[in-house]
Amino acid sequence: MSFLGTIKANKKEVPKEMTDRDNRRLGSTAFLFTKELTLVAYVPTTSKTKKKLVLLLSSMHTQPTIRNTGKPEVIEFYNATKGGEDTFDQMCSHYSCARKTKRWPLCMF
């Protein structure tokens, strides 16, 4: 079983070198590899005013591959497959498991 997802930058397990936004150029990518995991820090080129940082953790990507678009392969794969999670969240917000009732609660004092 493998996983791929975003991770928050304020986690204590994430090294400070990966979360540093000030010394990074737009469109730059940093990779960190362990035995089973890959951490990717990417600064998108669309964030002109504020340097935004995207952190992704993957157990299925082991090579620092960058596509012709300038984005890492991990980001491209995440963007292509993240629709399932968004659909699931949307469906969960439409349906409720609460019981419908017309009865008012009694006040006990």
**pLDDT tens, position by position, 2-53:** 888 888 888 888 888 888 877 778 878 888 888 888 888 888 877 666 678 8
Cα separation, 1 vs 3, in Å, equals 7
Distances (CA, A) of 30 to 6, 39, 63, 72, 95: 15, 8, 12, 10, 40
Percent of the chain having pLDDT more than 70? 94
* Domain residue ranges of the chain, discontinuous segments joined by +: 4-81
Cα separation, 52 vs 6, in Å, equals 13
